[in-house]
Amino acid sequence: MQATIYDTPDHELLRDQVARFLAREVEPYATAWEESGMVPRDVLRRMGQAGLLGIAFEGEYGGADADALTNLVFAEALSQSTFAGFIITVLVHTDMAGPHLHHAGTPAQKAKYLPRVTAGELITAVGISEPGAGSDVAGMRTTARRDGDEWLINGTKMFITNGVHGDLYFVAAKTGSARHDMSMFIVEKGTPGFTVGRALHKTGWLSSDTAELVFDNVRIPAGNLLGEEGKGFYSVMKNFQTERIALGAMAIGHCTQALKITLDHVRQR
């Protein structure tokens, strides 16, 4: 039965696919992930093999070419899990970090990275928040300076989901003196000068790794500029809309599952 007039049979098939994946691959094992502080990489790869890590991305790079509503159906269905750390690990990859590459990447950048992103071979994170700048993106202090055929990045990012175990980071940095003058960059794990300063310990979402990232004279190729120079602020603001909607779908999924658990409890006590 369709939940709304906007639902389609394909949406119901997607909900069922996600529910079966959660029951088989997540719920029986995720307590251990809470203790280890991460979602195992092989689980994310199996999500990729099932076509669940690129719902809205281009088909030529392994995505499903689906519309925004289908992507939200996925986020809501995923959020029926009782382990929010697992959920946010995935949604940061699919709806908060990955879309920066999807929206602003050049054909060469997409061809290099997106197939491995949708396959779960490269896990993504987005570096925007800093010790003194969260939603106030324009207040960031991380800088990037052009030096010949390279960019030189210096600064610190804080509270970065997937920061410890990620592979590919989309990093915002100031590239000029104007308040909104910033750009986005692709930084691969292992780049000299780029380190995880520390893993951050939380009171919840324990299987979601969260980290401080340090950039100390990090040199990346000029071709790792993501989108237009000086337009990063607008890219971040655009992607914030996608993020907020995905988090709304996550909240609805949580509420639905909490109601089911509550009803089961009161009927059996």
Q: Residue 116: in which H helix or E strand, if any?
A: helix 107-118
- pLDDT at residue number 53: 98
Domain 9-122+236-268 annotated CATH 1.10.540.10: yes
Rounded CA gap, 107 and 115, in Å?
12
Rounded CA gap, 269 and 266, in Å?
5
Rounded CA gap, 151 and 186, in Å?
11
Domain 124-233 architecture: Beta Barrel (2.40)
As beta bridge partners, residue 215 has: 155, 194
- pLDDT at residue number 6: 80
Rounded CA gap, 89 and 102, in Å?
18
Catalytic member of 12, 34, 121, 243: 243
- pLDDT at residue number 2: 54
Provide the 8-state DSSP code for 222: G
Q: Which residues contact 256 (CB under 8 A, 6 or more apart)?
A: 76, 80
Every domain of the chain and the residues it spans = 9-122+236-268, 124-233
- Dihedral (CA of 28, 250, 53, 66) sign: positive
Rounded CA gap, 17 and 27, in Å?
15
Q: Which residues contact 201 (CB under 8 A, 6 or more apart)?
A: none
- pLDDT at residue number 209: 94
Q: Which residues contact 135 (CB under 8 A, 6 or more apart)?
A: none
Q: Respond yes or no: is residue 243 known to be catalytic.
A: yes
| Type of residue numbered 141 | R
Backbone angles phi, psi at 169, to 5 degrees: -120, 135
**Along the chain (269 residues), what's the average pLDDT of each consecutive run of 10 residues?**
74 97 98 95 98 96 95 97 96 97 97 98 97 79 97 97 97 93 97 93 92 98 98 92 93 95 91
As beta bridge partners, residue 183 has: 173
- pLDDT at residue number 5: 66
